[in-house]
């Protein structure tokens, strides 16, 4: 899974803080320009940009024009007269530069909907069918969460079903020194009922006073925390089908519990009786064995001209084919009338033997699985195929229904295992498709330093998927500057295909 390496010449933050001159006049600005490397400049502002703001733009453009910023673009929150400006600084190869004022103040990601924070959190939870929102949130953080989730396309919003979003102070870094800002985690497994948790730390919001995304050609401006949130949403989108199929398997296992249904928009509790549902019930075949023995004993008593009235009545009470046998055995008056009862006796004994053989087959699989052997779906489907249209009457129906239920469940869980388990761990087809697309189009893995480190260390593209997803939703130009093919992969919806 080798991917050609590349890099992205794009920075959101990273400019050291400066203070504008107390007397920001034309003379001070020209002196700053003359002392800098700036070889030419363009200034762009808002419709109501003031002369003093224009002077500040040129002064800042000259201030930050250094050799190490050649051919780079910065989106930074910088001082302007009266407050903070959302400014895009661009530098060319010959130190020609441009400065664009795209807004004023700290960006929130959009307009304030005018709703109290607690009410807005409830609105978010309901709109996206979340499992919950936990932790302590400032009003600004609630607003940023609101605008971040609004950037999730409608087709991706089912990925948020049941997810819990929580705020914590901090997270321990992973082995690459990352995931200190946020994390999407869930228990992956064949019958996991865990929709997942999207965790955001204090660090997710610490860059919001330094830089921003967007702003080109009048597009919306987003604080960096919105991209952090959308990165974690990207993980939810990448794992959506895997989690949904796992939950469906768990619900299938729980169908026999007889208890109240678990809410769809909640992860299953730890004590949900999934393990019980995975077991094959009625393995002692007690009622089936008793029914076969009753038929056999009844026939033998009647054939020996002994009293069988009680057993015939018991056969009649069982119904189905055994009730028909009871009627036939009562007609055994002489050798010429034995055939109907004898035929039914042999049929019932054959059906019983067949039922026992398929329970033996299933029990053997259970023993071998206990020793670590795995079976693919066809091994379980063999049971269903063999029983199709057979043994579908009293007294076998309870047992064949259970064999079919058990086989259906393990067809689903073994299919899940084959679909998602790789040597690298649980891998979705959405991730694998991105790897194949990246290899085919020579897309670099170094969209950001973390995507490069994670791919090289873990041989997985899940961070490239999530990082590209988050950047695509707030600043597609950044993805395009890395790879037009990568941007097209997301804008076309190809990222949703595979699972």
Domain ranges of the chain: 26-104, 117-247, 286-417, 428-496
Give the Cα separation of 88 and 226 in Å (integer): 18
- Give this prediction's pTM: 0.88
Spatial contact of 106 and 209, defined as CB atoms under 8 Å apart: yes
Q: Measured between alpha carbons, how far is 247 from 330 in angstroms, rounded to an integer?
A: 53
Task: Say how many C-beta atoms besides its own lie within 10 A of residue 416's C-beta.
Answer: 22
C-beta of residue 462 within 8 angstroms of C-beta of residue 425: no
Angle formed at CA 62 by CA 60 and CA 68, multiple of 5 degrees: 105
Candidates 24, 82, 96; CA nearest to 49 is 82
Q: Tell me, what's the pLDDT at 4?
A: 34
Q: What is the DSSP string of 52-118?
A: HHHHHHHHHHHHT--GGGTTEEEEEEEEETTEEEEEEEEE-TTSEEEEEEEEES---SS------HH
Residue in 414, 349, 325, 405 with CA at minimum distance from that of residue 376: 414
C-beta neighbour count of 93 within 10 angstroms? 7
Q: Distance between CA atoms of 318 and 316, rounded to whole angstroms? A: 5
Q: Which residues are CB-contacts of 339 (< 8 A; sequence separation ≥ 6)?
A: none
| Low-confidence spans in the chain with pLDDT less than 50 | 1-9
> What per-residue confidence (pLDDT) applies to 11?
55
Q: Count of alpha carbons within 13 Å of 170, Cβ hemisphere only?
A: 3
Residue among 161, 151, 152, 182 at smallest CA distance from 241: 161
Q: In degrees rounded to 5, what are phi and psi of residue 128?
A: -105, 10
Q: Calculate the alpha carbon distances from 357 to 43, 182, 345, 365, 384 in Å.
A: 84, 53, 18, 13, 13
What does the pLDDT read at residue 3?
A: 33
**What are the φ and ψ backbone dihedral angles of 107, each rounded to 5 degrees?**
-75, 145
β-pairing, 96-104 vs 40-44, is parallel
CATH number for the domain running over 117-247: 3.30.2010
| Bond from prior residue into 394 cis (ω within 30 degrees of 0) | no
Distances (CA, A) of 81 to 13, 21, 133: 21, 10, 39
HSE-CB of 143 using CA atoms within 13 angstroms: 17
Nearest to 88 by CA among 202, 3, 11: 11
> From residue 258, how far is each of 88, 193, 251, 278 by CA, in Å?
61, 18, 12, 15
In the block, tokens 């870094």 appear at: 173
C-alpha–C-alpha distance, residues 302 and 342, integer Å: 11
């Amino acid at each position: 899974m080798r991917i050609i390496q590349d890099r992205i010449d794009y920075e959101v933050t990273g400019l050291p803080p400066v203070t504008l001159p107390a007397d920001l006049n034309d003379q001070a600005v020209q002196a700053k320009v003359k002392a800098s490397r700036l070889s030419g400049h363009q200034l762009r502002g808002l419709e109501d940009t003031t002369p003093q703001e224009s002077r500040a733009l040129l002064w800042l453009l000259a201030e930050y024009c250094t050799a190490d910023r050649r051919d780079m673009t910065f989106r930074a929150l910088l001082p302007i007269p009266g407050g903070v400006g959302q400014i895009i600084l661009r530098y060319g190869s010959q130190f020609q530069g441009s400065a664009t004022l795209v807004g004023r103040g700290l960006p929130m990601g959009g307009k304030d909907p005018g709703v109290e924070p607690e009410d807005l959190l409830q609105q978010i939870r309901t709109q996206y069918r979340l499992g919950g929102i936990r932790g302590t949130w400032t009003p600004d953080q609630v607003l940023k969460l609101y605008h971040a989730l609004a950037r999730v396309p409608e087709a991706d919003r089912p990925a948020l079903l049941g997810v819990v979003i929580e705020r914590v102070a901090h997270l321990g870094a992973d082995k690459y020194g990352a995931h200190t800002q946020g994390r999407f985690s869930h228990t992956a497994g064949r019958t996991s009922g865990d929709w997942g948790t999207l965790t955001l730390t204090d660090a997710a919001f610490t860059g919001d006073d330094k830089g921003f995304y967007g702003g080109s050609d009048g597009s919306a401006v987003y604080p960096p925390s919105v991209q952090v949130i959308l990165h974690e949403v990207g993980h939810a989108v990448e794992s959506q089908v895997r989690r949904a199929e796992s939950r469906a398997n768990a619900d299938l296992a729980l169908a026999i519990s007889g208890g109240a249904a678990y809410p769809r928009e909640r992860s299953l509790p730890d004590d949900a009786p999934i393990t019980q549902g995975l077991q094959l019930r009625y393995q002692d075949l007690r009622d089936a064995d008793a029914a076969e023995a009753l038929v056999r004993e009844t026939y033998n008593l009647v054939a020996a001209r002994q009293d069988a009235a009680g057993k015939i009545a018991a056969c009649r009470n069982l119904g189905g084919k055994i009730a028909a046998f009871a009627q036939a055995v009562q007609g055994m008056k002489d050798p010429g009338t034995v055939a109907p009862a004898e035929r039914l006796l042999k049929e019932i004994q054959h059906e019983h033997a067949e039922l026992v053989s398929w329970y033996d087959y299933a029990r053997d699989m259970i023993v071998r699985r206990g020793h670590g052997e795995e079976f693919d779906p066809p091994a379980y489907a063999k049971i269903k195929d063999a029983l199709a249209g057979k043994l579908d009457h009293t007294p076998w129906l309870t047992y064949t229904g259970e064999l079919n239920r058990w086989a259906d469940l393990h067809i689903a869980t073994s299919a899940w295992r084959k679909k998602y388990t790789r040597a690298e761990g649980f891998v979705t087809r959405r991730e694998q498709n991105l790897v194949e697309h990246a290899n085919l189009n020579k897309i670099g893995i170094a969209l950001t330093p973390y995507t490069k480190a994670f791919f090289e260390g873990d041989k997985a593209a899940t961070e490239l998927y999530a990082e590209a997803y988050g950047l695509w939703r707030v600043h597609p130009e950044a993805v395009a500057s890395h790879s037009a093919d990568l941007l097209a992969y997301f804008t076309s919806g190809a990222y949703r295909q595979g699972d």
